[in-house]
Structure 1
Amino acid sequence: MAVTQQEIESRLWDAADELRVAMPEAQYSSVVFPLMFWKYLSDTWDHQHAQFLADNEGLLDGLSAEEAHEIEYRDYQSFEIPFIHRDTVQERRASWSAILATVTQPGLGKRVRASLQAIETANPDKFSRLFGNMAWASEEVLPADVLAAVMQAMDRVPKMHEGNMSHDILGGAYEYLLKRFSDGSGTRAGQFFTPREVVELIVEVLDPNNFESVYDPTCGSGGMLIASANLLKMRGKRGYTLRLYGQETVADTAGVARMNLFMHNLTQFQVEVGDTLKDPRFKKPDGSLAQFDVILANPPYSLKWKPWTNDPRAIGAVAPQSTADWAFVQHMIASMDPKKGRAGVVLPHGVLFRGGQEALIRERVLNADLLEAVIGLPANLFYSTTIPTAILVFRASGTKIPERQGGVLFIDASKRFAKAKNRNILTDADIADTVTAYHSKFATDGKPVDPDGDGGLATRFVTYAEIVTNEYDLNIGRYIKQAATQQEDLGTLIEAYNIARAERQKVEQRMLDVLAKAGIDGFDD
């Protein structure tokens, strides 16, 4: 009987739930994902090994162990599950089933750690540093009886190989756990998980195509990379042809991303560990930044950082120490392929209007005609913050379609959401309407030629002349007037206050400049 999505998800959660006696739910992922992936690898290896033996029955008797090994790994296996504790009484294969048989014996955590490390070492090109630091394998962190209970519960999950379940089911189960852990872990989830519907919207707008390169400089669990491949597959194209690249500062989270990609049967990827702003890992042979066709990201908001002192990415100015928002944008712009590169990034509304260094960067980006669109999203979409955010879409210099050159498209999707238990969500209709608005044609007054009527989104194409008049301020409310009542939640109120405060500070500064020129001092004390 075929394995259902619901069945595998239910049994995986049963395994995760065994951890409740030992750690908070926010930490479940560090244990469950490595164990789940280990079981997947082991089940796959065992399935292929059985096929190898069945296909070569009677043909192996005259071969040495080395010759049989060479045939199996040439024709059947795509990775190796080696032995641990060779030449000792504890020798056994580093497989799920072999270690599961020893769960009642002392030192279970040490055997699990040794097995995962052996798999990493035996497959350096595929699984190097895949399982993270494995601190949870210590008995001081996770008692042996709890680890045994988790493994026994997970063993009740049906065999996780292609002969028994599709990669669609495997990938879906992995994402189910990601979302469930995120729902239960509050703001911590924002470190590695972007809600799927936000990811889908960005990917739909950027529209990756067969054989293109896709890069996420703050990749978290890899959801944006996977969504890019899924979109192509859904359209009858070849998602597996994408070349996927990601960088993540947290090693364990990078491991989650690698496992996630493998579970979705995506093998053309490279996920590196490091601080993207300080130490970008993807470089050309000459040391300059690698460039990609599609770049998408949901970077950490208002991150305090050490500003660059001499970096070619710093177009216009260097982002202030208090917030790296525009530094991430500058990195993405520098990483766009000059012929067809495009980028989409989710950021708080402050990037649209804050002054100082950020205003200088914004001016340079706009003067270079790199910004194509600003899409205002609803408040409370994310696990890590309730504030409203916006998607900024960029195109490499000179690559905008003629109708979009010399201006910016503004879309207000802030009222389009459905309320869920812990946050707001974008429905399929919300995503579709926003994508339709993005592809709109516009009359000379900047209004859509074919508006969608009452159900459409407020959309307007604004020329640079108008933006310059507003001193390069990109606050959506300057260009789109909405009659609808604002949602009275805390995040929206805070953002409205910040916008109003920034406006007041600008007016005050202009007044002080005029007074100073007139020789009148003392008003700024």
Structure 2
Amino acid sequence: MGNQDIVQKLWNLCNVLRDDGITYHQYVTELTYLLFLKMMKETDNEGILPEEYRWDTLTEKHGLVLQQHYRKLLLDLGIQGNETIKQIYMNASSNINEPKNLEKIITSIDQLDWYSAKEEGLGDLYEGLLEKNASETKSGAGQYFTPRPLIDVIVKLVDPQPGERCNDPAAGTFGFMIAADRHVRSKTDDYFDLGEKEAEFQKNQAFTGVELVKDTHRLAMMNAMLHDIHGEITLGDTLSNDGENLKNFDVIMTNPPFGTKQGGERPTRDDLTFTTTNKQLNFLQHIYRALKSNGKARAAVVLPDNVLFESGVGAKIRADLMDKCNLHTILRLPTGIFYAQGVKTNVLFFTREKTDKDSTKDVWLYDLRTNMPSFGKRAPLTEAHFDAFIAAYTAVDRTKVEDERFKVFTREEIRKKDDSLDIGLIADESLSAYDNLPDPIDSAEEAMAKLEEALALLGEVVAELKAVETTSDGSEESKPALAKFFEASWVYGNE
């Protein structure tokens, strides 16, 4: 049994928990608690765990006794043990209400082919589980997971080297840094070509990150540990004071969250030159400021189209970026690759120069969006789709590349367009407007997910209204339920 088969078996166990009302994301978090204990046993690392909380203590117990033991285990591991264990189990709680369901999952995990899993790599198994979660429209996890083919292409082109400090300020499940570690290992015979100190640096300091969401941070910690990466993954907000000390990196690769700061507030950092509620513009400022100004430090960042054309502060930030950095390449990405219809994104590749003025001379843009297939679960993005872009990017003389998708714009041309970078798209050759419609199955699944969300919210409304005595003047007691009602109405109305 290969890792793909094991991932599918683990995923199918989610059906056991449907009656408990557990979401896909909650299920993956719950699996993380259990898989950590099982994997510690399979890798002979149970010594880091208290004896009373090792895997076999779960398989020996049944029913209510098992459930009570499991909940105590989650609580205690979050406050004792080494730092990795505490961070994985910090504020952990179980969403499984039925003891028989918990027992079923533990038994099923115990019976999997762990010999084959270890042969293929437990880290790859866990990454497969995270990818499966992200690809499920209803899980809502796609925002935390960048498609692996895109990550691998970015890492290949940025080319992190041994001894370089790499960081992801919006780490998600730590996919960029895990791929960077894999890349450096492949060049150094799994670090055996390095000296002892250099190898220790790679494992313990080279790859770091910051993640804001607690449950996603938990997944990132687990993912890093299973890949033998022990760099610091901070639970925090890069756009707050937490991010002010994130400096002097050689490489930054990231896919920051889309949207504005919640509630429209501005970032709490005092060191950003330009203030805006646009999170991506703030992340972009952070990234080019956090690179070493040595002419070698480099970044690749996934950003939505609005960053390329937003006026006002957006234009000022783009001008500042092109002053301080050599923004040499922009890749216009296809739509449909982030498990959400209509999201248009780009990858900006730039190098932090020694000077703070006129660092960008030319910007090359590659259009991998226009006249491309409609990507989705049934037509997944693969690394082969990037072959022509990689050839253009790595060309010794880009001016000799014969590819209609590859265009260059001088800094002067961009300045005349008010520093807009919403450029480089080729002519759309679609014969019919219907050619660009989203996959109908994907759209139907997305609509179903929204309707399920609305029904769940309306269910909460009914439950809350039954639980409180609503007064005729609309007292405070009824307001939470009314808020949920309007939220559910909004979700339904937008479908």
* TM-score of the two chains, using structure 2 as the length reference: 0.77
Which of 103, 106, 131 matches 2:89?
131
Aligned pairs (5 A) from 1:381-420: 381-398=337-354, 405-415=360-370, 418-419=373-374
In structure 2, C-alpha distance between the alignment counterparts of 1:9 and 1:109, rounded to whole Å: 24
Deviations 1:481-514 (A, max 9, x none): 43643862369xxxxxxxxxxxxxxxxxxxxxxx
Distance in 1 separating the partners of 2:62 and 2:371 = 51
Give the match for residue 36 of structure 1: 35
Secondary structure of 2:207's aligned partner? strand
The correspondence for 1:8, drawn from 3, 6, 9, is: 6
Structure 1 unmatched runs, 5+: 49-76, 84-92, 284-288, 492-525
Counterpart of 1:522 in structure 2 is none
Q: Kindly provide the amino acid, as one letter, of the partner of residue 259 in structure 1.
A: M
| 2:28 is equivalent to residue 80 of structure 1 | no
More helix, by proportion: 2
Judged with a 3 Å threshold, the aligned counterparts in structure 2 of structure 1 residues 354 and 165 are, in CA distance, closer, same or farther, namely closer
From the CA coordinates, give the structure whose radius of gyration is larger.
Answer: 1
Q: CA RMSD in A?
A: 3.0
Equivalent position amino acid for 1:292 in 2? F
The code of the aligned residue for 2:237 comes to D
Query: Which whole-Å CA distance do the structure 2 matches of 1:393 and 1:381 have between them?
Result: 19
Matched, 1:267 2:229: yes
Q: Describe how 1:114-513 pairs up with structure 2 within 5 A.
A: 114-136=72-94, 141-159=96-114, 165-166=117-118, 168-186=120-138, 188-235=140-187, 237-238=189-190, 241=202, 243-264=206-227, 266-280=228-242, 283=245, 289-304=246-261, 305-308=264-267, 311-314=270-273, 317-319=274-276, 321=277, 323-339=278-294, 340-398=296-354, 405-415=360-370, 418-419=373-374, 421-422=376-377, 425-442=380-397, 448-451=399-402, 456=403, 458-477=405-424, 481-482=426-427, 484-485=429-430, 488-489=436-437
Measured after TM superposition, the shift of residue 26 of structure 1 is 4.2
TM-score, normalised by the number of residues in structure 1: 0.72
Query: Aligned partners of 2:353 and 2:365: how far apart in 1?
Result: 19
> CA separation in 1, counterparts of 2:239 and 2:230?
24
Q: Is the 8 A contact 2:298 2:349 kept in 1?
A: yes
Letter paired with 1:197: P
What is the CA–CA distance in structure 1 between the aligned matches of 2:173 and 2:119, rounded to whole Å? 17
> What's the % identity of the aligned pairs?
26
Amino acid at match of 1:395: T
What's the offset of the Cα at 1:416? 7.5
Report if aligned partners of 1:418, 1:426 keep a CA contact under 8 Å in 2.
no
Q: 1:438 to 1:457 in 2, by over 3 A?
A: farther
Using the alignment, how far apart are the partners of 2:210 and 2:373 within structure 1?
A: 32
Query: 1:133: Cα distance to partner?
Result: 2.7
**Is 1:18 matched with 2:16?**
yes
* Residue 172 of structure 1, CA deviation: 2.0
Show CA shifts across 1:452-489 (max 9, x none).
xxxx4611232211111222111124xx5436438623
Matches of 1:347 and 1:423 in 2, distance apart?
24
Task: Give distance in 2, aligned partners of 1:193 and 1:17.
Answer: 23
Three-state SS of the structure 2 residue aligned to 1:381 is: coil
Matched to 1:307, the amino acid is R
Counterparts of 2:378 and 2:292, CA distance in 1? 36
Q: Is the 8 A contact 1:409 1:460 kept in 2?
A: yes
CA distance in 2, matches of 1:255, 1:102: 26
1:425 is paired with a residue whose SS is coil
Mark the runs of 5 or more structure 2 residues left unpaired by the alignment: 192-198, 440-495
CA distance 1:237–1:397, change in 2 (3 Å): farther
Cα distance in 1, alignment partners of residues 146 and 134 from structure 2? 9
Contact kept in structure 2, 1:298 and 1:345, CA below 8 Å: yes
Structure 2 CA distance, aligned partners of 1:274 and 1:5?
Answer: 32
Contact 2:371–2:428 under 8 Å retained in 1? no
